A = this chain, B = another copy of it.
Amino acid sequence: MNGYGKNKEEVQRRLRRIEGQIRGLQKMVDDDRYCIDVLTQISSATRALQGVALSLLDDHLRHCVSDAIASSSADADDKLTEATAAVARLLKS
């Protein structure tokens, strides 16, 4: 059903850490921390989010897309179009 099944624990661990970073950002703003320090922390959270995205994309290609191709599934083409569109969204974000 999805490709990240085996890495679910790791993905959740990373998302919880990112949630902590976002709460840390709120604390920094509450404490009137210097703009540049807040921006540095935002860059760090963004990088961490992109890291999760890359890990999910890798799992998706390795499992969902690969399975569709290996079984000559009719939707292999759609899955590839969908994957490239997801990369396009990541690049624009």
Contacts and interface: CB of A to CB of B under 8 A. Distances in A.
Contact of A93 (B3, B32, B50): B50
Interface residues of A, number: 65
A44 to B, nearest CB: 7
B91 A54 contact: yes
Give the top 7 A-B pairs by smallest Cβ distance, nearest first.
A35-B60, A46-B93, A43-B93, A43-B89, A58-B84, A47-B93, A19-B22
Interface of A: 1-5, 8, 11-12, 15-16, 18-19, 22-23, 25-26, 29-30, 32-36, 38-40, 42-47, 49-50, 52-54, 56-62, 64-66, 69-70, 72, 76-77, 80-84, 86-93
